[in-house]
């Protein structure tokens, strides 16, 4: 074909050239008479087709007589298979929080209907060409005055992304202001991240590609301040891998995905209008445990950016001025909008009243802030079709059919002010199993009701009520107060009158669980946490109404004065859940001295352990239940060791202000650290043979407890010898001998763990394992390079102290070798000497 084209081109070129030359020769010969030739008129061009007229069409051409219309925040029209939002002009520029939750999910994936998936603030804006833009808003930095020049700098550094661009199809001009109509079908039936799963969630769930042809909008309903969008979305999944060796897999595999190659989920997105004027902020105070929001504030007169941190809480206000005056006189009043939590109708009927009681119990705390009937639990009105469990206007305790032993209490709040808008507490069915195990292992020595495999409905109901109150506390804005239990002296935990009045912790927001210190002879009957003194104070701080305060700054001054006075009472203090080195702030502990409390706890464990087989017995069943309970005993024992360990190298961390005239950081007294080390040597490193119950072990494991105990001992030992603890001890001892030092720790451990060397007694397998672990830990520290995230101690006294103690230990081992007659013990001592020699003199 190419050759033909070239040939034609060549022919054309030759022909044209010859014709021109012939014409030239002819002109010279003939010289014809010149004649004017009239050019033909050009044919008229056909008219260009007119482009369709751009811009909005008449309203009836878009929203015709077939439309199914619902009026609300966004008026929603369904025309055929298209969904249209009619957006009033008054909504342009208003913040809307979009909260997306699972409505229904495939089984077996570790996610449950009712759980939150995504949360983001969005805003409609006018575009440039008859269009509306939808932006996603991020609150990172602010300017307090939009009229000042610095506000431009803030705006230039914080552009929010556009997540949608919509042509205005028509405008409804029937009202005082225009309503703009846009097609939102593709916004919701696609995989827009704001209303679906983010990439990280997809990765964790092994989801790959969105399946558009298997996804659709199920319904859109709208109400005065919110619009609810129900969607069905289908995703393909990562194919399961075939491997001859077990490989850990990130995330969760849905069984349905393995069977079908795809999974289908149902979602509900609530578009909830945020207040036009945000609630007044209440500035955060580290002395009171509230969740908080924050962002950077750039002020015109400031020398640097400020970090504005404010508490997360519900908005409570009087119904009218008369009630506000009553409150100022000290009378209790009902709030304009009380806090209501609905109980999921999927909850088993016998537990509903206990979940509700856990909500209602908080009224005692709100009374301290001046409110009565401020909070209540209600049963869900199942016959009301206008209400939806996923609707972001309603706070709900959702019941999940899941084998997860947990419950949790989140909240949805306005990021501009911290105002809580709603909460969906998650309640997993198997939390009852967790409660049964905790209560039996911690209190069965005292409470006969705890000595059975299945608790009575009354006892389990009260346990549910306690957890319900704790989770509701989180949704009121309260963080864990891990320091609350430290306010109770250990001996008061054994005092029946004190326990009846105050309980074993000053806050239900602590992880204090149940009173494991009380002994059978004490007569203590009140073993549960309850709304305590701290909880009442914290609610007073967060929810008191100050009608005379003109600003958040004036409120802050009032609250600071209140707080400075309150924290003088140990029962009103807050202890953070994040402190890595303050022994007062720990989970699962009780009392003001972990050594004393743990000793009482171990006494009770020794009473409980021999009874576990009888309490868990059920003819025809395996010993699986006994195995679970034995595991809970060892876990409880391990917790006691952890509580005590935190005293060694401990530092008290107390939030203070300039006017408090006290220090934030104080080293834990030396006598307490010595007491902690002595406790560990006596209760753990001296083999606790009581926990190696061969009658139980023979029924649940092929081993005899050697590995079980080794895990607890070595785990505690490694924690004691961690480099960050060593750094704190060296820092502390630099201030003088009155502080516990790193050499005190190594010497105390060495003499305790190798006590047999002086007596010449044989060394049992438990102690041999422990001694090897101690020596190996020290040797590894000599050889190790600094670990990421850990302090570099190569230029400190650490290695010097390690070498000194290994040298002393080597001498002690050599001296004991001749006195030990047991052959395996002698081998063990010789092995340790060889290891130490190799570490101290590797080139020999």
pLDDT at 1: 43
| Mean pLDDT, residues 395-415 | 91
Distance CA 400, CA 387 (A): 19
Distance CA 62, CA 37 (A): 60
> Is the four-CA dihedral 178, 182, 184, 187 of positive or negative sign?
negative
The helix or strand, by DSSP H or E, that contains position 210, with its residue range, turns out to be strand 207-210
394's tokens: 């309603």
Q: How far is CA 467 from the centre of its chain?
A: 17
pLDDT at 40: 54
pLDDT classification of 299: cutoffs 50, 70, 90: low
**How does pLDDT run across 712-730, given as a tens digit for each residue?**
999 999 999 999 999 999 9
Distance CA 420, CA 282 (A): 13
pLDDT at 17 over 90: no
Residue in this structure with the two tokens 């063990």, named with its chain if needed: 828
Any idea which of 17-26, 181-190, 297-306 has the lowest mean pLDDT?
17-26
Backbone angles phi, psi at 228, to 5 degrees: -115, 125
| Mean pLDDT, residues 111-128 | 93
User: Can you say whether residue 98 is alpha, beta or left, with left for phi > 0 and alpha for psi between -120 and 50 degrees?
Assistant: beta
Domain assignment present for residue 37? The answer is no
759 and 833, same domain (yes or no): yes
Domain carrying residue 576: 280-592
**Among the three residues 562, 592, 622, which one is the final residue of a domain in this structure?**
592
Which of 132-141, 284-293, 654-663 ranks highest by mean pLDDT? 284-293
Q: Of 314, 321, 310, nearest to 474 (Cα)? A: 314
422's tokens: 């709603």
| Mean pLDDT, residues 410-427 | 93
pLDDT at 349: 96
pLDDT at 44: 60
> Which neighbouring-strand residues pair with 271?
98, 227
CATH number of the domain bearing residue 465: 3.40.390.10
The CA radius of gyration of the chain, in Å to the nearest whole number, is 37
Domain tally for the chain?
Answer: 3
Do 273 and 94 form a contact (C-beta atoms < 8 A)?
yes
Any idea which of 28-32, 163-167, 518-522 has the lowest mean pLDDT?
28-32
> Is the four-CA dihedral 384, 389, 391, 394 of positive or negative sign?
positive
| Mean pLDDT, residues 650-654 | 96
pLDDT at 821: 86
| Mean pLDDT, residues 299-317 | 78
Distance CA 203, CA 226 (A): 31
136 and 257, same domain (yes or no): yes
pLDDT classification of 495: cutoffs 50, 70, 90: very high
pLDDT at 358: 97
221 and 141, same domain (yes or no): yes
pLDDT at 201: 92
**Among the three residues 528, 557, 592, which one is the final residue of a domain in this structure?**
592
pLDDT at 788: 75
Share of the chain above pLDDT 90, in %: 77
| Mean pLDDT, residues 579-605 | 97
Distance CA 493, CA 485 (A): 10
pLDDT at 57 over 50: yes
Which of 133-142, 215-224, 783-792 ranks highest by mean pLDDT? 215-224
> Is the four-CA dihedral 441, 445, 446, 450 of positive or negative sign?
positive
371 and 256, same domain (yes or no): no
**How does pLDDT run across 599-617, given as a tens digit for each residue?**
999 999 999 999 999 999 9
Q: Of 475, 470, 465, nearest to 542 (Cα)? A: 475
Query: Which residues, 6+ apart, have CB-to-CB distance to 273 below 8 Å?
Result: 73, 91, 94, 95, 96, 225, 226
Distance CA 809, CA 806 (A): 5
**How does pLDDT run across 363-381, given as a tens digit for each residue?**
999 999 999 999 999 999 9
Residue 224 burial (CB count, 10 A): 9
218 and 353, same domain (yes or no): no
Instruction: Write down the mean pLDDT value for the chain.
Output: 90
pLDDT at 734: 92
Domain assignment present for residue 691? The answer is no
Distance CA 187, CA 195 (A): 9
Pinpoint the alpha helices (H) of 329-420: 349-360, 363-368
pLDDT at 831: 96
Domain assignment present for residue 102? The answer is yes
Distance CA 682, CA 660 (A): 40
pLDDT at 511: 96
**Could you tell me which residue, 739 or 389, shows the higher pLDDT?**
739
Domain assignment present for residue 701? The answer is no
Query: Which residues, 6+ apart, have CB-to-CB distance to 72 below 8 Å?
Result: 221, 222, 223, 224, 226, 227
269 and 284, same domain (yes or no): no
pLDDT at 764: 93
262 and 284, same domain (yes or no): no
**Could you tell me which residue, 55 or 718, shows the higher pLDDT?**
718
> Is the four-CA dihedral 576, 581, 584, 585 of positive or negative sign?
positive
Domain assignment present for residue 12? The answer is no
DSSP 8-class letter at 770: H
Distance CA 660, CA 82 (A): 64
467 and 340, same domain (yes or no): yes
pLDDT classification of 392: cutoffs 50, 70, 90: confident
pLDDT at 234: 97
Distance CA 668, CA 581 (A): 10
**Could you tell me which residue, 661 or 746, shows the higher pLDDT?**
746
**How does pLDDT run across 749-793, given as a tens digit for each residue?**
999 999 999 888 899 999 999 999 999 999 999 887 777 777 778
Pinpoint the alpha helices (H) of 567-689: 594-608, 612-616, 624-645, 670-680
Give buried/exposed letters for 510-543 (b at 16+ CB in 10 A, else e). Answer: bbbbbbbbbeeebebebbbbbbbbbbbbbbbbbb
**Among the three residues 575, 592, 609, which one is the final residue of a domain in this structure?**
592
The helix or strand, by DSSP H or E, that contains position 293, with its residue range, turns out to be strand 292-297
pLDDT at 35: 44
89 and 225, same domain (yes or no): yes
Residue in this structure with the two tokens 């802050």, named with its chain if needed: 556
Q: Of 544, 592, 534, nearest to 566 (Cα)? A: 534
pLDDT at 246: 54
pLDDT at 208 over 70: yes
The helix or strand, by DSSP H or E, that contains position 150, with its residue range, turns out to be helix 150-156
265 and 312, same domain (yes or no): no
Query: Which residues, 6+ apart, have CB-to-CB distance to 184 below 8 Å?
Result: 83, 84, 85, 166
pLDDT at 619 over 80: yes
**How does pLDDT run across 508-521, given as a tens digit for each residue?**
999 999 999 999 99
**How does pLDDT run across 432-460, given as a tens digit for each residue?**
999 999 999 999 999 999 999 999 999 99
Domain assignment present for residue 7? The answer is no
Domain assignment present for residue 559? The answer is yes
**How does pLDDT run across 830-843, given as a tens digit for each residue?**
999 999 999 999 88
pLDDT classification of 19: cutoffs 50, 70, 90: very low
Residue 437 burial (CB count, 10 A): 18
pLDDT at 300: 54
782 and 739, same domain (yes or no): yes
Instruction: Provide DSSP, 752-777.
Output: HHTTHHHHT----HHHHHHHHHHHHH
Do 195 and 231 form a contact (C-beta atoms < 8 A)?
yes
pLDDT at 305: 57
Helix axes 723-733, 742-753, angle to 10 degrees: 120
For 297, the 3-state DSSP assignment is strand
Residue in this structure with the two tokens 């109150």, named with its chain if needed: 469
53's tokens: 């007229």
pLDDT at 294 over 70: yes
> Which neighbouring-strand residues pair with 137?
121
212 and 117, same domain (yes or no): yes
Backbone angles phi, psi at 517, to 5 degrees: -85, -35
| Mean pLDDT, residues 292-304 | 67
Domain assignment present for residue 683? The answer is no
**How does pLDDT run across 322-367, given as a tens digit for each residue?**
999 999 999 999 999 999 999 999 999 999 999 999 999 999 999 9
Q: How far is CA 604 from the centre of its chain?
A: 34
Query: Which residues, 6+ apart, have CB-to-CB distance to 209 below 8 Å?
Result: 235, 236
């Amino acid at each position: 074909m190419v050759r033909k084209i070239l040939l034609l081109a060549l022919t054309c070129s030759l022909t044209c050239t010859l014709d021109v030359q012939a014409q030239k020769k002819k002109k010279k010969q003939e010289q014809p008479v010149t004649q004017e030739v009239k050019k033909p008129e050009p044919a008229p061009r056909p008219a260009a087709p007119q482009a369709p007229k751009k811009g909005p069409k008449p309203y009836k051409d878009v929203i015709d007589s077939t439309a199914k219309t619902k009026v609300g925040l966004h008026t929603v029209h369904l025309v055929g298979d298209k969904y249209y939002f009619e957006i009033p002009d008054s909504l342009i520029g208003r913040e809307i929080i979009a909260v997306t939750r699972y409505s229904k999910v495939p089984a077996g994936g570790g996610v449950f209907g009712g759980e939150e998936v995504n949360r983001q603030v969005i805003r409609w804006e006018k575009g440039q060409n008859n269009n509306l833009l939808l932006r996603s808003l991020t609150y990172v930095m602010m300017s307090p005055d939009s009229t000042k020049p610095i506000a431009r700098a803030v705006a230039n550094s914080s552009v929010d992304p556009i997540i949608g661009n919509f042509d205005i199809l028509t405008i409804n001009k029937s009202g005082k202001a225009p309503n703009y109509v846009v097609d939102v079908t593709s916004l919701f039936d696609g995989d827009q991240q704001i209303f679906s799963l983010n990439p990280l969630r997809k990765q964790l769930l092994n989801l790959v590609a969105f399946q558009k042809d298997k996804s659709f909008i199920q319904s859109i309903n709208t109400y005065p301040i919110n619009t609810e969008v129900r969607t069905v979305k289908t995703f393909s999944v990562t194919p399961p891998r075939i491997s001859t060796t077990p490989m850990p897999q990130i995330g969760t595999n849905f069984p349905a995905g393995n069977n079908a190659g795809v999974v289908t989920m149902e979602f509900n997105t609530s578009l909830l209008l945020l207040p036009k004027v945000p609630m007044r902020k209440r500035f955060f105070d580290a002395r009171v445990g509230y969740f908080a929001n924050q962002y950077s504030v750039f002020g015109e007169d400031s020398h640097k950016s400020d970090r504005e941190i404010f508490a997360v809480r519900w908005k409570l206000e009087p119904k009218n001025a008369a009630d506000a005056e009553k409150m100022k006189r000290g009378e209790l009043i009902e709030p304009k909008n009380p806090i209501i939590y609905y109980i999921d109708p999927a909850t088993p009927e016998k537990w509903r009243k206990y979940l509700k009681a856990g909500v209602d119990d908080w009224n005692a705390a709100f009374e301290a802030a001046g409110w009565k009937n401020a909070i209540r639990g209600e049963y869900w009105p199942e016959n009301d079709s206008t209400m939806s469990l996923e609707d972001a206007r309603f706070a709900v305790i959702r019941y999940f059919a899941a084998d997860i032993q947990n419950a949790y209490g989140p909240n949805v709040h306005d990021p501009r002010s911290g105002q809580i808008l709603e909460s969906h507490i998650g309640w997993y069915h198997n939390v009852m199993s967790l409660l049964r195990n905790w209560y039996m292992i911690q209190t069965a020595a005292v409470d006969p009701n705890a000595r059975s495999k299945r608790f009575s409905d009354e006892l389990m109901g009260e346990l549910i009520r306690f957890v319900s109150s704790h989770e509701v506390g989180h949704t009121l804005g309260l963080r864990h107060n891990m320091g609350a239990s430290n306010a109770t002296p250990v001996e008061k935990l054994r005092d029946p009158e004190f326990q009846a009045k105050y309980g074993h912790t000053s806050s239900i927001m602590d992880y204090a669980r149940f009173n494991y210190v009380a002994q059978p002879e004490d007569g203590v009957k009140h073993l549960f946490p309850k709304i305590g003194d701290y909880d009442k104070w914290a609610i007073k701080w967060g929810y008191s109404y100050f009608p005379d305060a003109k600003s958040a700054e004036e409120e802050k001054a009032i609250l600071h004065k209140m707080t400075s006075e309150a924290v003088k009472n140990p029962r009103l203090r807050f202890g953070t859940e994040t402190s890595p080195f303050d022994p007062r702030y720990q989970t699962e502990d009780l009392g003001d001295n972990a050594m004393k409390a743990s000793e009482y706890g171990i006494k009770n464990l020794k009473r409980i352990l021999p009874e576990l087989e009888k309490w868990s017995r059920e003819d025809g069943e395996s010993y699986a239940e006994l195995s679970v309970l034995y595991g809970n005993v060892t876990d409880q024992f391990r917790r006691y060791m952890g509580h005590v360990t935190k005293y060694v190298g401990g530092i008290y961390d107390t939030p203070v202000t300039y006017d408090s005239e006290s220090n934030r950081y104080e080293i834990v007294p030396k006598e307490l650290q010595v007491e902690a080390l002595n406790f560990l040597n006596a209760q753990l490193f001296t083999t606790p043979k009581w926990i190696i119950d061969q009658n139980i072990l023979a029924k649940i494991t092929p081993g005899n407890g050697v590995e079980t105990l080794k895990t607890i001992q070595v785990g505690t030992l490694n924690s004691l010898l961690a480099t960050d603890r060593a750094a704190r001890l060296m820092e502390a001892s630099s201030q003088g001998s009155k502080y516990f030092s790193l050499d005190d720790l190594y010497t105390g451990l060495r003499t305790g763990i190798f006590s047999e060397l002086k007596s010449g007694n044989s060394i049992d397998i438990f102690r041999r394992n422990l001694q090897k672990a101690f020596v190996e830990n020290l040797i590894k520290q000599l050889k190790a390079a600094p670990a990421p995230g850990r302090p570099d101690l190569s230029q400190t006294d650490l290695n010097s102290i390690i070498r000194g103690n290994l040298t002393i230990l080597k001498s002690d081992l050599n001296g004991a070798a001749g006195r030990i007659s047991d052959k395996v013990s002698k081998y063990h001592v010789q092995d340790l000497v060889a290891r130490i020699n190799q570490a101290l003199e590797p080139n020999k």
